[in-house]
Every structure is written in C-alpha cells, then in structure tokens.
C-alpha cells in the first residue's frame, strides 16, 4: 500500500452527514454537504486534479480500441498518483461518455469502481458527458463509494470538502460545484453563497478553491486580454455561462477555481480576484492528446499563507508549468 494510502485513506469520512467544526452553533448544525479529510502535512496539502477521463468514448465505433484506451488511462491514473502522492484527488468531470442506449449507469459503475480502487481519497464534480437516466442513483453511487468525499447527494452535486489538520483545524476548503451541461447556474451560485455564509459563521475563512467542469466565461477574457500564461488549443467552451458566476465565487472567498472541459487548454490568469486555472486533461480516450499531452495537475496548498503552487504532470514523470511570459496559441486558424 502506498504511503499516501496509509496516512490518508482511513481518514476520509463517508459522505454521510458530518458535523462542522468551529463555533458551538456551527458545530451543532449537521449538514449533508460537507465532507472532511485530515491531511498529512498542514504546510503542504496536495490535491491532484484529473479531468476529462472520458471512459467509453468511441465505444460504438471502435470497441477494442476503446477498451485499450480505458486500460491505458487507468494505468496513467495510478502512475500519476504514485508520482504525486496527494492527500486526495479531484476528478473534475467527463469521467465517462454519455448515456447512449441507456448505458450511462453501467459506464458510471465501471468508472466509480476504478476510482474507488485507487486507494486515495477522492472527490468528483459532474461533467456535461456524465449522463444518466437516474441522477439520484448517480449521487448515491458517488456518495457510497470507497474513499469518496462526495457529499452532493442532497444538494445536486454541490458540496464542500473541508481539509483539516490533526486536531480538526480547518486548513482549506474545496468547493465542488455542478456545472451540468450549460455551466455554473443559479443553483450552483445559490449553493456557493449559502455554503460560504454557513462556513463563515464557523470561524475565519480558510483558503478556498472551487472545482467544477465547465469554465466560466472569463477564462476566454483572460486569454484575449493577454494576461493568461500557458497554452490554448481551442476557444473556451463556456456554454451558457454569462460572466455572472465569477463575482459570486469571489464574494464567497474563493482564491482560485480549477476546471476542465476544454481538453487542449492549460493556462491560468487572475480575473476579478480569482485565479482561473485549467486542469490538464487526463483520459487518452478524450480528444486532443496530440496537441496537449494527457496528464494531471498537482496543487500544493500552504493554508497558513493562503498560497498555492501548481504543476502539470505527465504519466512519464515530465512536469510542466508555463514560463513567466509563455503564451502558446495552437488554435486552428479559421
């Protein structure tokens, strides 16, 4: 068993109702939408982001190839976890691919089994391709899986993972939000507002980071205005998002947000006081691996200073972060 498993896995709470720490009033308020995880080193909390795994993409046309890609992707998940040794990983959506023929539940069951088998506490946010006939059953599956920190069962996929020190002190909070198929909507914004309000009542705001699948519209703005550093391979697919979510995230105290969805973008920049960061697309079954190599992104948080660093990781051990002035545009010219 990996070191990370010993120190972290057993500390993962179930996604059942948990009690928040803080003031007696807050402590008394049992909420279903918070899960808690004790981390090993309060000065360097490690969160590994996987995104766009896309299990079962292309299964109808090329079933053998799809199966092979699934195997390779699972191997990559293990390699990346072995290299990063995070306290937890967060999978930011498009874990599987659609619900054609009503097979979404079967695809999800395979995917959940893989994640639960990795031996590291984990969180999940919904992607536009994570489709099912029965989402209530989906919430239940994620909530009850081994090692899962998923606490969105009663809040439609919106929840908070509280990362805590040995004595239960609040170090950082991961706001996991459901961007559905159109981007963050009123439900996600309302959840963010009310969750922040409840958590604020429990004591000073710790470092807060948001995780969701579909980027907010300002991801496009920060590339266009020249402030973003990294690589862009496609215009931002912000879907129906209309710039109204970012002020809510900022007001809720989120220092940074991490997303997926656009497989060939890996860049970041600050907008409205929030650092907008793309994850590194992970699954070899998803498009774009020949443009931006598949991998993961590791965030190392220093809660006391409310700072963090990130680096993109590839399964072969390569690490990448953009240089101070690096802007690489590999979009097809129209």
- Interacting residues with Fe ion (CB under 5 A): 52, 94, 127-128, 261
CB atoms within 10 A of CB 169: 13
Tokens (6 digits) for 104: 């979404």
Distance CA 12, CA 329 (A): 40
Q: How far is the CB of 295 from Fe ion (least distance, A)?
A: 15
Nearest 5°: phi and psi at 99? -130, 35
Q: Which is closer to Fe ion, CB of 168 or CB of 182?
A: 182
DSSP H or E run through 196: helix 186-200
- In the complex with Fe ion, which residue's Cβ is closer, 153 or 261? 261
Closer Cβ to Fe ion, 233 or 253, answer by number? 233
Residues in contact with 244: Cβ distance below 8 Å, sequence separation at least 6, in sequence order: 189
In this structure, are residues 36 and 199 in contact, taking their beta carbons and an 8 Å threshold? no
- DSSP assignments along 94-140, one per residue: --B---GGG-HHHHHHHHHHHHHTTSS-EEE---TT---S-HHHHHH
When the beta carbons of 52 and 221 are compared against Fe ion, the nearer one is 52
Nearer to Fe ion, 66 or 94 (CB): 94
Q: How far is the CB of 6 from Fe ion (least distance, A)?
A: 33
- Cα separation, 57 vs 276, whole angstroms: 27
Q: What's the min distance (Å) between Cβ of 170 and Fe ion?
A: 31
Report, in Å, the least distance between residue 284 CB and Fe ion: 12
- Could you tell me the smallest distance in angstroms from the CB atom of residue 26 to Fe ion? 35
Considering the complex, state which of residue 287 and residue 320 has its C-beta at the smaller distance from Fe ion.
287
Which residue is at the shortest CB distance from Fe ion? 94
Residue 170: name the closest of 195, 134, 199 by CA.
199
Nearer to Fe ion, 139 or 261 (CB): 261
Q: How far is the CB of 263 from Fe ion (least distance, A)?
A: 6
Of 235 and 302, which has the nearer Cβ to Fe ion?
235
CB of 287 to Fe ion, least distance (A): 8
User: Strand 170-176 and strand 207-211: pairing?
Assistant: parallel
DSSP state of 216: P
Q: Token pair 């970012």 is at which residue? A: 246
Strands, E assignment, the chain = 18-19, 30-31, 34-38, 45-50, 88-91, 122-124, 159-164, 170-176, 207-211, 229-232, 254-259, 266-271, 274-278, 296-302, 307-313, 319-320, 327-329
> Minimum Å distance from CB 61 to Fe ion?
17
**Helix, strand or coil, per DSSP, at residue 6:** helix
């Amino acid at each position: 068993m990996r070191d990370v498993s010993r120190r972290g896995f057993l500390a993962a709470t179930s996604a059942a109702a948990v009690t928040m720490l803080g003031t007696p009033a807050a402590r008394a308020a049992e909420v279903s939408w918070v899960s808690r995880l004790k981390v090993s080193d309060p000065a360097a909390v490690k969160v590994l982001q996987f995104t766009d795994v896309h299990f079962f993409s292309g299964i109808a046309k090329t079933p053998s190839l799809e199966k092979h890609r699934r195997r390779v992707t699972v191997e990559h998940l293990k390699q990346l976890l072995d290299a990063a040794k995070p306290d937890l990983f967060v999978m930011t959506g498009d874990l599987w691919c659609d619900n054609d023929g009503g097979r979404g539940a079967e695809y999800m069951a395979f995917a959940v089994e893989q994640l639960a088998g990795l031996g590291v506490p984990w969180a999940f946010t919904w992607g536009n391709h994570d489709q099912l006939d029965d989402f209530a059953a989906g919430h239940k599956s994620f909530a009850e899986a081994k090692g899962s920190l998923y606490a969105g069962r009663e809040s439609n996929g919106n929840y908070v993972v509280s990362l805590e020190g040995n004595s239960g002190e609040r170090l950082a909070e991961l706001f996991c939000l459901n961007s559905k198929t159109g981007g963050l909507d009123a439900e996600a914004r309302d959840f963010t507002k009310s969750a922040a309000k409840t958590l604020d009542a429990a004591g000073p705001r710790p470092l807060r980071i948001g995780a969701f699948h579909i980027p907010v519209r300002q991801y496009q703005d920060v590339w266009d205005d020249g402030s973003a550093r990294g690589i862009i391979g496609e215009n931002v697919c912000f879907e129906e998002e209309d710039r109204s979510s970012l002020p809510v995230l900022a007001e809720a105290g989120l220092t940074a947000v991490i997303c997926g969805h656009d497989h060939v973008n890996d860049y970041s920049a600050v907008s409205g006081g929030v650092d907008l960061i793309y994850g590194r697309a992970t699954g070899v079954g998803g498009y774009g691996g020949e443009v931006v190599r598949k991998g993961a992104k590791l965030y190392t948080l220093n809660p006391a200073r409310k700072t963090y660093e990130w680096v993109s990781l590839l399964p072969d051990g390569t690490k990448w972060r953009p240089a101070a002035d690096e802007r690489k545009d590999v979009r097809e010219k129209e």
